[in-house]
Every structure is written in structure tokens, then in C-alpha cells.
Amino acid sequence: MQHYKNLKVIQRDLAAAKITCAGLVDFYLSNIAQSQETNAYLEVFEEEARQKAKELDQKIANGEKLGRLHGMVIAIKDVICYKNHKISASSNILSNFESLFSSTAVERILLEDAIIIGRTSCDEFAMGSTNENSAFGVVRNFDNLDKVPGGSSGGSAVAVQANTCLAALGSDTGGSVRQPASFCNVIGFKPTYGRISRHGLIAYASSFDQIGTLTQSVEDAALLLEIMAGKDDFDGTNSSKSVPKYSEALQEVSSDKEKKRIAYFKEALENEGLDAEIQQKTKELLAKLQSEGHTVEAVSFPYLDYLVPTYYILTTAEASSNLSRYDGIHYGHRSKDAKNMEATYRNSRTEAFGEEVKRRIMLGTFVLSSGYYDAYYSKAQKVRRLIHDYTRNIFKNFDFILTPTTPTPAFDIGDKEYQDPVSMYLADIYTVQANLVGIPAVSVPLSHHSNGMSFGVQLMADKFEESELLKFGKKLTL
């Protein structure tokens, strides 16, 4: 079977009876078996996927109406609920939990005939940038098994990278879709805050979280967005704005001569933490875009060094509140040796949460505690306003902001430097801005490092400008 990168091609070949859904599922299942050492999947829904494929093939044979995602085999990150299936957020605290309902995103892709092939590993509760923090083992980069895949949606990125599915869903709180996409040579897309319902997405930091996609074509990202986006009564922070036909907007890209205005930050490109080869390739891309007639200008961004601290103050605060629901009482792990309620809470949480999760709960508890609230939490909310206003203002004069996705290519598994939390947090320097501001962003593959690993380039656009963002993203992949 050929390596499909685009659902359109699959649907064309299905219609021409060159392939069947059953054959496609078998092919992906054999790729899963062959890439098992990556540890990308926590569970493969083998029988179910085969069954669904059979049903679809029957529908095709009968000439019945097909959903818009027929032929798409997709994996979902272990923080996205799927009714009557296990979900654990890669944590021991939910190791035997089965979801009672499907997330709105999953509900909508199932209605369009997507086949869900399995659930993928991630950093515990989506907290991490390496996928080393899963309670169920490290995930490995398929291009080099000694390297991390990035995180937190590392399993989803590897699932797509290893061609075990056409696409995968992830979640992006500070770069958790875009950073692993960069490390794994795939396309990672995070929509505007509130564009896709968060109903059924396990909460990490509610004012940052957004479901995103990992795909091999921008077209598939656009189609998935079109299907998952839109008003949902189960999520009050979800936008009621009408959903444009993102997939149609992409059709004219190759012939389109439209000139865009692109801003980049000098501070970001001259940042001392930025790898020299990534810096070089990003500069070359900017020069190329300029030579093609786009406006490319340096804009000053005085908040670069404040992005990561602001992000971690606010997200740890929200996490400490969101994770208070894991108390060992209603569901999840309960400590065997607790004799009273207080001990049940404390022992259950202590036994089942991993180190990074505990660290973030403690940090969040600190910044929210009396005496420190104003200096940390409240102050960070004000800085978030400054960053928000400054960034949105740039879009008055520019269509996009272009930055590297990550300061370095994928690092080694177990790298001492990234065992230090602050160093790991700084790996998010280019991606957290989009979540702090609530704007959409996409990472597309840019080049390969001399160490053999891939890296991406990131484009950010103003709120709800996904159509333009995806169009230009596609142009960068041509």
C-alpha cells in the first residue's frame, strides 16, 4: 500500500475500488505492530477498527451516502474522551477509568465516518515537552529511537510520523501539538481558543487548552477543523461564530498570487537558546518569502523573556484547581491503606500522580495561596493582558507572525539538561505565546538538522483567521 498523506487521495482510490477501508486498516495495524518500540499507543482498538472498516466498505458497495471523513483512520490522544473506552491522561490515577460519554470533537468526527484506531500516549495530564512523563513509559521518536518525540502530544505525533494512521488528535495548552509536530516532521495545528469545544477534553489549564490536529497535509487539518469546530452547548467558552469552509479555501492556494505581510521578532531569531541551524533556515525562509514579493519585517517584541514565566504561573494555577477533582473517591485510584477521608485524598493523590504533575500542583497552589496571589497569579494575569494587547496590535499591520516552532531539534531521551524543570519549560518559548493570546498557530516542517532530526516553522495569525493561516501554511509546504 502506498504512503497516503492526504484524505482526498484515499477517497479517490476508495471510489475507484483500488483500495478498501478494510485493507487500509490492516495496513495501519501492521505499521503499528512494526513500530511498537516507539510506545506511541496506549491501546489499539483493533477489532473495532476492522469492524467499522467492514461496515464502510459495505456502505461504499451499496452506494450509500458517506461521511466526509470516510477513509480517514485517526488516533486520539489519551486526554480526549471516547464513550465506553478507557482514558487515563497517561496517569496512574485514571488507570482503570472508562469514559461515560464522547467528547464533542470525537462525536463529530465519528458522525463523518472516521475510524478511530487507538488512543495515544502523552505526558501525564498533558504536562511536559518530551513525552517522558507518561506513567506508561517513554515514547520514542520514530526517526531516531534515542530521541524524544516532544510533548505533550508525543504519541499522537509519532503515530502519524510512523504512518500508523492518517491523522491524530492532540491537545495544545502551550505548544503540545506544535512542538511534537516539529520534532516528528508532521503538521501540527492549534485553532483559536474556543473554536473547538473542550467538552470531553480532560482539563489541564482551561483558559489555554485547545484540541488540535497532527496531520501529513494541511488539507486534512482544515477538513478536521471544519468538522470539529462550532458551537456546542456543553462548553460555555466555545465560540458561536459560524464555521467557514476551511477546506474549500485551500483549493486555490497553488495558483494564488496574493502577497502577505509577515512579521518576525528579532529577539526571537537572535535568542541565545536558538540552535544555529534552525536560525539559519528560518532566516533563509524569510528571505525567500521576501523575494517572492511578500512584505517581511522585523517587529520588536519586548515580552519574549516574560512569556514562559507568565505561562507557567497561570497554567500551574489552573492545573492545581482542575486536578483537585482526582480525590480517590468517585473514580480513579484509591489508596488501599487510608483509614479516613483526609488520608484517602492525600494517599491516593500521592501514590498515583507523577513527579511533574505534583510539581505543577504545588507551584499552582503556591501562586494561588494567600500572601502570594497578588505578586504571582494576579500579576501574571496583568502581564497576560500586556502580551495579548501587544500581539493583537501587531495583526493590525501584519497577516502573520513567523517564528521557529522550537529552539532546538528533538533532544536525547533522558537528557540531563531537560530533567531540570526550568530548562524543560524554556523549550516552549516560541509556542506559548499563541495560547497566552488565544490565537491560532500552525507548525509545518521546515528542514532537517545535521543531526538528522526534523524541525518546523511556526506561523501565528489573529483570532479566527484560520482560513488565511492554513492557506499560507499550505503554501509553505509546497
Site of grid cell 516552549:
428
Please give the Cα distance from 27 to 23 (Å, whole number): 6
Count of chain residues binding other proteins (CB under 8 A):
72
CB 205 within 8 A of CB 245: no
Q: Decide: is 265 part of the binding site for other proteins (CB under 8 A).
A: no
Min. distance of Cβ 172 from other proteins in angstroms? 14
Q: How many residues does the chain have?
A: 478
Q: Which stretch binds other proteins (CB under 8 A): 25-33, 108-116, 220-228, 366-374?
A: 366-374
- Considering only 358, 392, 448, 449, the residue that binds other proteins (CB under 8 A) is 358
Reading the block at residue 420, the C-alpha cell is: 531540570
- Please name which of 364, 366, 375, 336 lies closest in space to residue 352, comparing C-alpha atoms: 336
Q: Decide: is 33 part of the binding site for other proteins (CB under 8 A).
A: no
- Considering only 25, 313, 410, 429, the residue that binds other proteins (CB under 8 A) is 313
Min. distance of Cβ 96 from other proteins in angstroms? 7
Please give the Cα distance from 101 to 333 (Å, whole number): 20
Q: Decide: is 300 part of the binding site for other proteins (CB under 8 A).
A: no
DSSP 3-state assignment of 74? Answer: strand
Q: Among positive and negative, which fits the CA dihedral 160, 51, 134, 109?
A: positive
- Quote the Cα angle for 280-284-290, to 5°: 150
Q: Decide: is 119 part of the binding site for other proteins (CB under 8 A).
A: no
Please give the Cα distance from 358 to 366 (Å, whole number): 12
The long-range contacts involving 325-333, CB below 8 angstroms and separated by at least 24 positions, are 326/93, 326/94, 326/352, 326/353, 328/352, 331/94, 331/97, 332/93, 332/94, 332/96, 332/97, 333/92, 333/93, 333/94, 333/95
The mark string for 381-400 relative to other proteins (x by CB under 8 A, - otherwise) is xxxxxx-x------------
Min. distance of Cβ 195 from other proteins in angstroms? 10
Q: Which stretch binds other proteins (CB under 8 A): 35-43, 140-148, 229-237, 440-448?
A: 229-237
- Considering only 16, 17, 422, 478, the residue that binds other proteins (CB under 8 A) is 422
Q: Decide: is 95 part of the binding site for other proteins (CB under 8 A).
A: no
- The β-bridge partners of 171 are 211
- Considering only 85, 463, 471, 475, the residue that binds other proteins (CB under 8 A) is 463
Q: Which is nearer to other proteins, 328 or 445 (CB)?
A: 328
Please give the Cα distance from 344 to 324 (Å, whole number): 13
Q: Which is nearer to other proteins, 255 or 370 (CB)?
A: 370
Q: Which is nearer to other proteins, 93 or 296 (CB)?
A: 93
Identified catalytic residue from 5, 52, 77, 471: 77
Q: Decide: is 228 part of the binding site for other proteins (CB under 8 A).
A: no
Q: Which stretch binds other proteins (CB under 8 A): 59-67, 91-99, 130-138, 399-407?
A: 91-99
Q: Decide: is 367 part of the binding site for other proteins (CB under 8 A).
A: yes
C-alpha Rg value of the chain to the nearest Å: 21
Is residue 176 flagged as an active site residue?
A: yes
Q: Which is nearer to other proteins, 107 or 220 (CB)?
A: 107
Q: Which is nearer to other proteins, 295 or 344 (CB)?
A: 344
- Considering only 13, 366, 392, 394, the residue that binds other proteins (CB under 8 A) is 366
DSSP string computed for 267-295: HHHS-TTS-HHHHHHHHHHHHHHHHTT-E
Interactions with other proteins, residue window 321-340 (CB under 8 A): 324, 327-334, 338-340
Q: Estimate the crossing angle of helix 218-228 against helix 466-477, to 10 degrees.
A: 160
Q: Decide: is 151 part of the binding site for other proteins (CB under 8 A).
A: no
Q: Decide: is 375 part of the binding site for other proteins (CB under 8 A).
A: yes
Q: Decide: is 190 part of the binding site for other proteins (CB under 8 A).
A: no
Find all residues with CB under 8 Å of 65, minimum gap 6, and list them: none
Amino acid identity at 315: T
Identified catalytic residue from 176, 217, 247, 454: 176
Interactions with other proteins, residue window 279-298 (CB under 8 A): none
CB 141 within 8 A of CB 184: yes
Q: Which stretch binds other proteins (CB under 8 A): 160-168, 275-283, 290-298, 309-317?
A: 309-317
- List the catalytic residues: 77, 152, 176
